[in-house]
Structure 1
Amino acid sequence: MRRVAVPVVLLMLLAACSPAALLNLTAPRAGVTRSSDIAYAPGPDHALDIYAPSHRCADAPVVVFFYGGGWESGSRGGYRFVGASMAARGVVTVIPDYRLYPTVRFPAFMRDAAEAVAWTRAHVAQYGGDPNRLFLMGHSAGGQIATLLALDGTYLRADGVDPRQIRGVIGLAGPYDFLPLRSRTLKAIFGPETEWPRSQPINYVTSAAPPMMLAAGTADDTVDPGNTTRLAARLRQDGVAVDEHLYPGLGHKLLIGAFASVLTSFAPVRRDTLRFIAAHSGAGAGCVEAGR
């Protein structure tokens, strides 16, 4: 498998199109139903795509996945390879867009994310998902969004969702404890220094937090893997179940890229994610093909 994956990575580096576009070409079509451009709230950047198993399972777990991009770039269309890969293995996967800087600043994108989760709980049964088996997942900036949604319950509660209804959270190379802010852009995104603590998921850990899987690559030079180890330690300190994975030699982009079958030989990120979801899905565990 590795002999196949290495040339693919080289193609990503050399090709004119983006790595995500190449990985999307490898996304499974068979066994997956994609529903696109669904509005979850009024206005631009408030749409989502849903990837569902074609053969429905009555208790299928649901993941809402938030992509990264430093809170200033990214789009749901770039992550077909994540959504289709998860759906092909039994997980209904919802990928929303959300407003980005400089159009908005914190916490506007948190409110968008909460609206997407609320919409999902209300409507995902129509697509074969069980709203009572709901997980949040995010990569990079999306990891900050997913974990903060679960830990600071004010955003979800404002949209009628009880944070206790979240079965689990998967954070992939997320910034959870990243103060002080040094870049001019981050200072603009997160506002006055007095407001910075509100953006830090680690500040909201309590014993009521849902189970979490936190993963990072040891070669990540975009988001310090210490964010993962520190949040995992704080969760354990409060008695919260946490699966911590540090993948040797893995970088920031390859961590999420490893959801594509052509790159799974680099690290078992997808397998570990599916196993976490199955472990916390209750009756829905039977829907998940956690071994692949």
Structure 2
Amino acid sequence: MLLIMKIFPAGKRMKLFCLFLGFYLLAPVVKAQMTAGLTGKPDTSFTNYSAFKSAKKKYPQIRLVEEQPSADVKEERNIVYFRTGGIELRLDAFYPAGGRKAGGIPAVLIIHGGGWRSGNRSQHIPLAQRLAATGVACFTADYRLSTVARYPAAVYDLKEAVRWIRKNSRKYHINPEKIAALGFSAGGELAAFLGVTNADKRFENPDGNKKVPAGVNAVVDIDGTLSFVHPESGEGDDTKSISAATYWFGYKKAEKPELWKDASPLTHAGKPSPPFLFINSSVDRMHAGRDDFRKILQSFNVYSEVQSFPDSPHTFCLFEPWFDPTLNYISSFLDKVFGMK
């Protein structure tokens, strides 16, 4: 403005000033990504036991499923699969003790829930142990949560976990063309997102192992949303407190609607998508967009199925009487798409 005052005669100064002010007032306000919630520390609010205490109030008959080691399953814990930003990401391996099988066995990457902010890889060890006993190699993996890094960091991490599994397929007698992503809640959304972005390099870590494919060949989504912007979705309501997805993206839905849409699995569903199994509770908002997602898959002749438990909590898969049927649904699906038997 001082430059305008010096260069231009008085008659033009007011016109230029008004023009400058108009541009300033009409320019969009660019919101900075919020730093709230980036504590750098794990959020321990969501655990299997806390979920059990909450669900037991309405479902007093439930039983928390515990770890169950077996002579039929080998276990390796605390393996570093990737290093990024000074962080070591780890996984645990569970695989059949019987040795090699002609053609190799399927593998499953198991992704925990917790609102992209809490939870940890140990929460699905009982599922990994029991599934491994059926002849599948299972891997429960860490990923960066929203206390440490925003979206799409978790996607980057889990694609590197897939690469690690594929790179180590010979060691665990895995068929590298039979790798599934399985997740619960936020982990279900992430598993679905991995599946529908198999061919999209935008969602791979630029510093990752590009020599090994990061795609998955099937997806099991246990009560994970398919869209953050679908009318059925409950994500993004910040009226009482900051929502889990808002923490993860670092922007409110109204501030970056295109980001929330692009981060939704529903946006990317299409011809390259792998087969899907949806296992759902009776809490409809937890699988928002599922039916529209399946319609897209069906239009491209991509197989999908839904198994639902009426009158069940969101955390059903952690407890009996739902754990065993969930395990059976997963095993049946993997057999159907991978020909396990």
Partner-residue secondary structure (3-state), 1:243: strand
Write the letter of the residue equivalent to 2:292.
Answer: R
Task: Describe the shift of the 1:62–1:257 C-alpha distance in structure 2 as closer, same or farther (beyond 3 A).
Answer: same
Task: Describe the shift of the 1:225–1:12 C-alpha distance in structure 2 as closer, same or farther (beyond 3 A).
Answer: closer
C-alpha separation between the residues in 2 aligned to 1:85 and 1:40? 23
**Per-residue displacement from partner, 1:15-70 (whole Å, max 9, x unpaired)?**
xxxx99x5234x24231111011111124350000001111242211001111000
Please give the residue correspondences for 1:244-255 in structure 2 after superposition, counting only pairs within 5 Å: 244-254=306-316
C-alpha separation between the residues in 2 aligned to 1:265 and 1:246? 10
Partner-residue secondary structure (3-state), 1:124: coil
Task: Describe the shift of the 1:191–1:11 C-alpha distance in structure 2 as closer, same or farther (beyond 3 A).
Answer: closer
Q: Which residue of 1 aligns with 2:65?
A: 23
Q: Which residue of 2 aligns with 1:289?
A: none
Match for residue 318 of structure 2 among 237, 240, 257: 257
**5+ residue gaps, structure 2:** 1-51, 230-234
C-alpha separation between the residues in 1 aligned to 2:77 and 2:169? 13
Asked if 1:176 corresponds to 2:226, the answer is yes
Work out the number of aligned pairs and report it. 262
Match for residue 150 of structure 1 among 177, 195, 202: 195
C-alpha separation between the residues in 1 aligned to 2:146 and 2:205? 24
Percent of residue pairs bearing the same amino acid type: 24
**Per-residue displacement from partner, 1:248-270 (whole Å, max 9, x unpaired)?**
1222111x225xxxx25677211
Q: CA deviation at 1:239?
A: 2.4
Task: Describe the shift of the 1:28–1:230 C-alpha distance in structure 2 as closer, same or farther (beyond 3 A).
Answer: farther
Match for residue 232 of structure 1 among 272, 281, 294: 294
TM-score between the two structures when normalised by the length of structure 2? 0.70
Q: Which residue of 1 aligns with 2:262?
A: 198
C-alpha separation between the residues in 2 aligned to 1:52 and 1:119? 15
Q: Which residue of 1 aligns with 2:45?
A: none
**5+ residue gaps, structure 1:** 1-8, 287-292
Match for residue 89 of structure 2 among 46, 63, 71: 46
Q: Which residue of 2 aligns with 1:34?
A: 75
Structure with greater helix percent:
1
**More contact order relative to length (CA 8 Å, sep ≥ 6):** 1
Write the letter of the residue equivalent to 2:217.
Answer: R
Q: Decide whether the 8 Å contact of 2:228 with 2:261 is kept in 1.
A: no
Q: Decide whether the 8 Å contact of 2:266 with 2:293 is kept in 1.
A: yes
